A and B are shown apart, each in its own frame.
Chain A
């Protein structure tokens, strides 16, 4: 227990109150550790705003969500009407609802940018592996949260999107159909599904999400932030001032809090422009079909998930029975390379060959639809392993070989193309492109242990680059 601090009876009331609290709860201590004496590198650039923005959007979603739940009815007969009731009869209901629907898309925009920042500056590298892993878990849980929330307006796209995605689970061998039934609570998406998705969306998943966000931040503040140079400012050799604070760091509060206020105001400009002037965002944030009440008897011609899922949806659709031959060839090639090139013991080589044979047998035996689901899930799961896939001797893209920048650019373009194709109805050309894109996406990560070591690395400075403003 900390020492009980006495304070002069003449001290101002505010100080006395704070002292009273501090003797009972580490208020000042927490504030100092995480804000006023949390030293962050001085050289953050604009990429570093998206973490704070993600937190802001989380708060927007929770607050607007609380108000929406006050008026929304999770009942298949009433849900659609209750959303229109919110839009029309609830004072400021339209604003709350548009903030929530725009917030969902905004969440994914800032999270994608936040993750990309981590990718290019190597923020997932030692000792920040757990920061990254918690972050990936947040992304995964966020996807579940968005998916379940999307059912609630009970429009045609809500309904059929949920139907398609839940049906994917039935592709899993043996347990699939029962699992899909368990998720839906019925043989088709219906009232039971709506009720359980509502329950998950408003309490179960947000609780997990909040817990993970706290873990993400605690882990981050334990190891300290990375920076665009990928140089440790609190490492053993890093210069420190007389008080022992890192010279290349600066207290988060007030320096980065004012920074973030500026960033937040810019973000709110964009966010408000969408909420007030284009809340449907051309059918991407609120899909046109979702203004038709859910009808189990009428299947829309074209069912597409909301834009933030479409890159992964593209990968799902890319895995056709034809594509399986390409994937089998990849597995065999990988095993061959492993046996011929890697320095492995004879037993390990045997295991590689055996594993490859079993995998190929399964790939031929089980329907391509299942492997599509594996690809879609795997595309997210593979992110968790990034810290152990990257063998580059430097963290930041700034000191990596120049061609890495091109590679990352192609990775982004590829991801955007996959996203675009996922919005479109299936087409033969689109299918081929998405298959190439899927192979590139997985190749990028699975071959990273090899390519991340290649090329000429630039010398990493011992201190960060910081130009005073």
Chain B
């Protein structure tokens, strides 16, 4: 019996490690948790509208939902919407899908729930996006001139290149399990961007926080409400427990 169990355990271990090997070119880093940070979300919304929304829609997200992150209708209308948008509209990209397909080889995906769909085993969608947006490098062999360590041959050129500038990864060959693999040792900054490396990470963190919040705008309400529900149920459970005990104490 024990041998059988051991066999099962071994087999599971093997298949699990086989699965872990099929990862990305770089380890996925943890995104900072800022979905409760209104200033970060507002900055993220600004970056999103300026840098993402020209090609990517967020077709299930209404502009006026941005009230939830502390913006007034006036602020939203003046700073974040395109000229023709109404405040109750959803966030639609102005790009023509047919042209996009021609330019980038694929239609830019809708970003409303992107932070939810890109989750995987051991990392959240926010972690993925946070690492993705910080793994771009110059690659002249690609039609767009850009490539990405997390998403090799990505169709999207670096959307935030103005901010980050141009970088090249420093790779080192390492032998592990009898195979030579490239491991990222660090980055080499080429042409500088408008932001320092630390500022860039800070801003990408804000953008990812915004994407995460937009994936489920009710998420913080949900957690806050959940605490009250749990408190009520805890109290109710005590009452139900004592009620049950008082009925059963005389049952012989």
Contact = CB atoms under 8 A, between A and B. Distances in A.
A15 to B, nearest CB: 25
Interface string B209-242: 0000001111000110111011001101100110
- Report which residue of A258, A259, A264, A279 has the largest number of chain B beta carbons within 10 angstroms of its beta carbon: A258
Contacts of B240: 258, 261-262, 264-265
Interface stretch (B35-43, B55-63, B199-207): B55-63
Interface string B42-60: 0000000000000000011
A468 interface: yes
A301 to B, nearest CB: 10
A273 interface: yes
Interface string B135-165: 0000000000000000000000000000000
A469 B245 contact: yes
A87 B8 CA distance: 41
B62 A94 contact: no
Interface in B152-202: none
SS class, residues of chain A in contact with chain B: helix
B11 A432 contact: yes
Nearest to B248: A469
A232 B18 CA distance: 52
A433 B8 CA distance: 7
Interface residues of B, number: 51
A269 B222 contact: no
B125 A429 contact: no
Given A272-B233, A280-B116, A291-B113, A429 B11 contact: yes
Nearest to B235: A265
Given A413-B5, A469-B245, A266 B237 contact: yes
A174 interface: no
A50 B23 CA distance: 40
Contacts of A410: 1, 4
B111 to A, nearest CB: 11
A324 interface: no
B226 A277 contact: yes
A89 B89 CA distance: 12
Given A42-B251, A413-B5, A269 B234 contact: yes
Given A94-B222, A265-B240, A272-B229, A88 B62 contact: yes
B8 A288 contact: no
Interface string A267-285: 0110011011101100100
Given A88-B217, A288-B120, A413-B5, A269 B230 contact: yes
B218 A468 contact: no
A95 B216 CA distance: 12
Interface in A271-311: 272-273, 275-277, 279-280, 283, 288-293
A64 to B, nearest CB: 15
B60 A81 contact: yes
A425 to B, nearest CB: 7
Interface in A111-129: none
A4 interface: no
A95 B224 CA distance: 13
Contact of A283 (B119, B236, B245): B119
Contacts of B233: 265, 268-269, 272
Given A288-B116, A288-B125, A424-B19, A85 B60 contact: yes
Interface of B: 1, 4-5, 8, 11-12, 14-15, 18-19, 59-62, 65, 109-110, 112-113, 116-121, 125, 215-218, 222-223, 225-227, 229-230, 233-234, 236-237, 240-241, 243-245, 247-249, 251-252
**What are the 9 closest A-B residue pairs judged by CB atoms, nearest first?**
A276-B226, A291-B117, A84-B60, A262-B240, A265-B237, A291-B116, A288-B119, A291-B113, A262-B244
Interface of A: 42, 81, 84-85, 87-89, 94-95, 98, 250, 254-255, 258-259, 261-262, 264-266, 268-269, 272-273, 275-277, 279-280, 283, 288-293, 406, 410, 413, 417, 420-421, 424-425, 427, 429-430, 432-433, 468-469
30 contacts: A81-B59, A87-B216, A88-B62, A89-B62, A95-B222, A98-B222, A255-B248, A255-B251, A258-B247, A258-B248, A259-B244, A261-B244, A262-B243, A269-B230, A269-B234, A272-B233, A275-B226, A277-B223, A279-B222, A280-B119, A288-B120, A291-B113, A291-B117, A425-B19, A427-B19, A429-B14, A430-B11, A432-B11, A433-B11, A469-B245
